[in-house]
Chain A
């Protein structure tokens, strides 16, 4: 039982591969938990790259690049017909 409590508090990079399943079981997958995780991720990114004294183009460019990659993934099944191939 002490091991399970300690497992809940370890970060993902410190979890051993064999403990991954039990670590995932300790996470909060309720809608409130997922919103909390998204909020924490957003705050981490924002405070590291944008909310700094001399933020540059990189902070927002990474977001736009991720949006482009995501749009490509979403439209791939559509775009693959536009390639110059003999057999699509």
Chain B
């Protein structure tokens, strides 16, 4: 029996040596840098096409100053996408289930957007704290609410990613345990559970991609407000 369903999220280590670094660096192995040929191999062509798609999608709403952020946002997107998808393979470890890592990604980037806005255009940045057309009596309350919502953004970014992935992995483990346990006693119910597991896995693949996209999209939105 499982000691605990949360054991899959403990940081992997081998004889006391932490392996999380290998889990984090491994996606880079799957992205070879294209050679200096006119037509590259299929993997490089696919990768280049995908990165162009993401970069165009992220950079279209931003003006020229925001294009300095293209490299970090695109690499963040590729990193999150690959780590989330690789975590769905059996026995692998997903670093993005660790809240520490997601907060470490969200906090500095959000803070960078905030400080960019406050430094370059302070009144416009602070002006975002009050939506247009609010009644005069509501202004103090709304400023407080908007400040809270601003300060909670990095927490929301990190926790959203962690919670989505952790919940998905836990569900997969629970339903697969149910399927294997029921196979001996009630095989038909076990087949139904297997169908649920199949649908859940498809959902998890979608969630892995969507969560990475949402993370980067929100960051680019915060950047648009502040650039």
CB pair A74 B30 closer than 8 Å: no
**Number of B residues with CB within 8 Å of any CB on chain A:** 22
Excluding A52-B41, A67-B26, A71-B90, 4 further A-B contacts by CB distance (< 8 Å) are: A50-B32, A63-B30, A71-B92, A72-B90
Q: Give per-residue flags for B4-19: 1 if the beta carbon is below 8 A from chain A beta carbons, else 0.
A: 0001001010100001
Q: Does A60 contact B (CB under 8 A)?
A: yes
Q: Which residues of A contact B29 (CB under 8 A)?
A: 63
The complex places the Cα of A72 from the Cα of B93 at a distance, in Å, of 10
Q: Which chain B residues have a beta carbon within 8 Å of chain A's beta carbons?
A: 1-3, 7, 10, 12, 14, 19, 26, 29-30, 32, 35, 41-43, 86, 89-93
Q: Is the CB of A59 within 8 A of B3?
A: no
Q: With CB as the reference atom, state the residue of chain B lying closest to A56.
A: B42
Contact: B89 with A68, CB < 8 Å? yes
Q: Which B residues touch A82, using CB under 8 A?
A: 1-3
> What is the bound-complex CA distance between A70 and B43, given in angstroms?
23
Interface residues of A in 47-71 (CB under 8 A from B): 50-55, 59-60, 63-64, 67-68, 71
A55 close to B42 (CB less than 8 A): yes
